Structure 1
Amino acid sequence: MARTGFCDSRPLLDPCKTEENRVPLRTWANACAVKARRACNEVAGLRSWQQYKAENKDERQWVCSRLPLSAEDGIIMDYAEKNKSASVDGYEEEALLNHLHRVQALPTLRQLVPGLLQREIEVAMDKLGLLYDRTYAWDVFSDMMRSQLNSTLPNAELPRPFTDTTRAILVDWLIQVHEVFSFSEETLYLAVHLLNRALQQIKVSISSLQLLGVVCLFLAAKKEECLLPEVSELCYLMANTYTKKQLLRMERRVLSGLQFELSHCPPIHFLLLSAYIARCSDKVICMARYLLELSLLEGQCIQYLPTHLAGAALHLARQLLQEAPTPEGETAWCIASNIHLGSEATLFNIMQIMAIAAAKAHTRETRATYIKFSSVETLHVSMHPALTNAPCLLGLPCLQS
């Protein structure tokens, strides 16, 4: 099991320790002696014991006098080999060692996790509607894990004219436009990903920054949505600052600059998969979605893998809500946490960024995500009182309200 720091390293479910599979110790001790005792009794019924001993000199001999039986179940408790002074019988010891060897050979939770994870991934992707044929679930998931490595950005640095604040204002406005058209979450994450890449690979002036954001959202919608807005509608949302011709020209520039590579595995997919496998409640999922969307506004989160972001958001949501743990839930969480491949330090850094962003969300000008997740449909998670002290949970200084 990969060490992420998010689950206890002790096996929570060890098949070697289940009571129904545990054989009584005294049954192990007599496992090898029963056959010899049965052969002895059968032959003694036909011939005398002395004749049987004379014919079987090379076989193991036992002292058959005083064979006490357990008063409860009649199992023989005291075999003693002749001419042996050891307190532990040789056969008993051999039977016990053989049994312990078999026990050690049984798989533990650490060894079972890959198989359990594969089965849970297949069920989760089927239930979440991420594919049409469950047979290819593990292949699709493996491709998701590989493709995220190809779409990462080397660093979070922006070209000199732009700042993290400028980018955050643009992303906040794109979130509002995304809400107007009722696009899917995948469209939003893909649009921001294309924007991050375009800012690093295409020379764009500050005056064309809004146009670039709209074009990235338009391209993401072409890839993810069934119904697309008209170009005139997009120009209207920008107060007709740009013409249709300018928008289509920028679209060609973006496609050429990105070499038509528009594929991206969004962190929301990894979050939903992990939450389903970990048996998280609806409130935990909504809180994790809120934290994950807040990370879109943070320039520091550009360089992290989608699995890193999803794992940090889900774990921080669990810490904030402090739901009562159950053995089944903790076991499921340990299995789900294997999806998050980041080191403990990496995930903790992301959690710190998210915690600070969540604590300041209600006071910032970029409040589109805060308002979106304050509705009844999202269980008012952005207004949860624990978010104000979120940095304190991670050992950071509490923010002044």
Structure 2
Amino acid sequence: MTQTGFCDSGPLLDLHKKAEERRPPLRTWANTRGPKERRSLADCSATPDCRWARRVPVSAEDGIIMGYAEQDGSKDGREEEALLQCLHSLPGLRILVPGLLHREMELAMEKLGLIHDRTYAWDMFSDMMRSQAHYTFRSTELPHPFTDSTRAIVVDWLIQVHEMFNFSEETLYLTVHLLNRAMRQIKVSISKLQLLGVVCLFLAGKKEECLLPEISELCFLMDNSYSKRQLLRMERRVLCELDFELSHCPPLHFLLLTASIAHCSDQVVWMARYLLELSLLENQFVVFQPVQLASAALCLARLVLQEAHSPESEAAWCIATSLRICSEPTLQRIMHSLAVTASRAQGRETRASFVKFSTTKTLHVSAHLGLQSCPYLLGPAGAPAWPQACDGPLKGMRAGETGQHM
């Protein structure tokens, strides 16, 4: 989160204040407090010599934003024209006023409690887009002896442990990301895979949480199959193999930003969050970028719920979708895979996410009848794009057995 700007930077910005006036650390939408009053830019007496305007070279396939550059503030009217020219390859953005896009992004980040100063909102979003390539994998292939089924069982168990500790959602996404990297870079046996998953959760908690469980608690959850010494040794090994690189911009951030700009209803947001969490269980989604997963989950949630939309909501959705930076074939491919995964979630052994999103708090979105038929809503292409993995050696680990060791 350090690279994306979504870090607890409040204390750093408030060092000049008295102790009693300092604001608490920033959290994301799930943990944020009420919006704070922020100083308006109109109160600044000094006028900057130059302004920052987006220059966005885009890649050939999916249009990933790569950077921005400084523009001379004396060129009246040329700032918006230059931005429109740079965004010519992105569908829908040519007809939109850049100032409107900036304003909507600023309001969304302020609503989510992610910024102190609106001036940095667009730059933060640019950095999120630039860092996409660091959070994907070239292939879905797992090293021997791991299988997709083995990985799904471990992730399902980690989701249960994460919920028991009441960690933030960013911790879960970072945990799975670290696990995906560690499984490909560290040679471990299946008997040590559960220990590796707990270590990834422990490292993610150190980066995202304020309060952490004791090491003895983590060992107890694994039925004391591993000692404290083994856990600490594995932690040191993971940190060294990953070069202490623990940064990650989860798709949840893109989902919340897009949903806020599009003025989506609570049910659509919860449905999209459920679909996004289901993607953590499937190894086939690791090749897609976070912004692509977020866009597909939100589009599929709207398709399943079939809510009535006003002209104002349609206009807001048009602005939000113009920021998704995802080609149509890629979007359709992810939506089809998510639809198949959601339609089978209730009958699978790894159903921790299904149970988690079947409560009153989450509006029972996982039990929505539309999820059973959503592959047919997308047409014949809704068939699975990848073959189903066979059951691995961890088949005996069932949902809810958080104390059982592997």
- Scaled by the length of structure 1, the TM-score of the pair is 0.71
Q: 2:306 aligns with which of 322, 332, 337?
A: 322
Once the two structures are superposed, the pairs formed by residues 382-397 of structure 1 within 5 Å of their partners are 382-396=366-380
Alignment of 1:270 onto 2:250: no
Distance apart, 1:266 and its partner CA:
0.4
| CA contact 2:155–2:281 (8 Å) conserved in 1 | yes
| CA contact 2:262–2:317 (8 Å) conserved in 1 | yes
Q: 2:45 aligns to what? A: none
Q: 2:52 aligns to what? A: none
Residues 323-378 of structure 1, C-alpha deviations (whole Å, 9 max, x = no match) = 11221111111111122222111111111111011101110000100000000000
Alignment of 1:121 onto 2:93: no
Distance apart, 1:398 and its partner CA:
8.3
Alignment of 1:297 onto 2:297: no
Alignment of 1:280 onto 2:264: yes
Q: 2:211 aligns to what? A: 227
Q: 1:46 aligns to what? A: none
| CA contact 1:152–1:305 (8 Å) conserved in 2 | yes
| CA contact 2:340–2:382 (8 Å) conserved in 1 | no
Once the two structures are superposed, the pairs formed by residues 1-400 of structure 1 within 5 Å of their partners are 110-396=94-380
Give SS of 2:170's match: helix
Give SS of 2:345's match: helix
Residues 86-122 of structure 1, C-alpha deviations (whole Å, 9 max, x = no match) = xxxxxxxxxxxxxxxxxxxxxx973434332221111
Give SS of 1:122's match: helix
Q: 1:54 aligns to what? A: none
Give SS of 1:160's match: coil
Tell me the number of residue pairs that the alignment of Structure 1 and Structure 2 aligns.
294
Letter matched to residue 179 of structure 2 = L
Residues 254-281 of structure 1, C-alpha deviations (whole Å, 9 max, x = no match) = 1111101100000000000000000100
Letter matched to residue 196 of structure 1 = N
Alpha-carbon distance in structure 1 between the residues aligned to 2:116 and 2:216: 35
Distance apart, 1:143 and its partner CA:
1.0
| CA contact 2:258–2:320 (8 Å) conserved in 1 | yes
Structure 1 runs not aligned, ≥5 long: 3-107
Alpha-carbon distance in structure 2 between the residues aligned to 1:360 and 1:396: 17
Q: Mark the CA change 1:204 to 1:395 in structure 2 (over 3 Å): closer, same or farther.
A: same
Q: Which has the higher helix share?
A: 1
| CA contact 1:113–1:335 (8 Å) conserved in 2 | no
| Identity of matched residues, % | 68
Give SS of 2:171's match: helix
Alpha-carbon distance in structure 2 between the residues aligned to 1:348 and 1:398: 9
- Scaled by the length of structure 2, the TM-score of the pair is 0.70
Give SS of 2:346's match: helix
| CA contact 2:345–2:351 (8 Å) conserved in 1 | yes
Q: Mark the CA change 1:241 to 1:137 in structure 2 (over 3 Å): closer, same or farther.
A: same
Distance apart, 1:397 and its partner CA:
7.9
Give SS of 2:196's match: helix
Structure 2 runs not aligned, ≥5 long: 1-57, 59-91, 384-406
Q: Mark the CA change 1:189 to 1:385 in structure 2 (over 3 Å): closer, same or farther.
A: same
| CA contact 1:159–1:199 (8 Å) conserved in 2 | yes
CA RMSD of aligned residues (A): 1.7
Q: Mark the CA change 1:174 to 1:273 in structure 2 (over 3 Å): closer, same or farther.
A: same
**Between Structure 1 and Structure 2, whose CA radius of gyration is higher?**
1
Q: Mark the CA change 1:319 to 1:252 in structure 2 (over 3 Å): closer, same or farther.
A: same
Give SS of 1:112's match: coil
